[in-house]
Chains A and B, each alone.
Chain A
Amino acid sequence: RKEVEQDPGPFNVPEGATVAFNCTYSNSASQSFFWYRQDCRKEPKLLMSVYSSGNEDGRFTAQLNRASQYISLLIRDSKLSDSATYLCVVNKGGSYIPTFGRGTSLIVHP
């Protein structure tokens, strides 16, 4: 089983839609979680951190489910500019090594 798994998509949604991505991780010792956004041919950029209590930033909500070992990202009222690849990041076991999922592609169309 891979350390961090994501559905590659693409998720093709109309503007204004709500879309959610999940990311599962295999190591129960992991305790740090983030979502990154990567635009085509650009570097990944931090989107938001993920806490046990959930984290909301405008239209974006990130949540952690430790029991089932997954994190989620919810995007409400999708914009064309949200089109990108979304990468989840988990620390490798008890270390501080960022381990990335392969990313989920989101395409928002008019």
Chain B
Amino acid sequence: DVKVTQSSRYLVKRTGEKVFLECVQDMDHENMFWYRQDPGLGLRLIYFSYDVKMKEKGDIPEGYSVSREKKERFSLILESASTNQTSMYLCASSHRGTIEAFFGQGTRLTVV
């Protein structure tokens, strides 16, 4: 069974903290994505990666960075968490040449 695993289901952090969200997939997928989902706004792409060490900005990269040191792992970093980054964060992966993406269970982050 294909699997995308995010390190935490729920997370509460303080304003100004550096936050790491981890995502691991076991499907040998080349592509990995980070989205955030907010009511009424749908899924918005933060960053994506087509290969190890490679990263590209999505539609809303401000305040975020990413790291992909290994093919199976894609990390999202909030450099200095702010309350407007309270959201559901979803990691996804797919094979090269397709948009058929598989999602992790999501991390609901609250910044207080």
Interface residues of A (CB under 8 A from B): 8, 32, 34, 41-46, 49, 87, 89-91, 96-103
Contact = CB atoms under 8 A, between A and B. Distances in A.
12 contacts: A8-B40, A32-B98, A42-B106, A43-B104, A44-B90, A87-B43, A89-B99, A96-B97, A97-B48, A98-B92, A98-B94, A100-B35
A97 B99 contact: yes
Interface string B21-47: 000000000010101000011110100
B41 A99 contact: no
Contacts of A102: 40-42
Contacts, number: 52
A89 B94 CA distance: 13
B101 interface: yes
Contact of B102 (A32, A46, A90, A103): A46
B100 interface: yes
Contacts of B96: 96
Contacts of B99: 32, 34, 89-91, 96-98
Query: Chain A CB within 10 Å — which of B41, B45, B99, B101 has the most?
Result: B99
Contacts of B100: 34, 46, 49
Contact of A43 (B48, B58, B90): B90
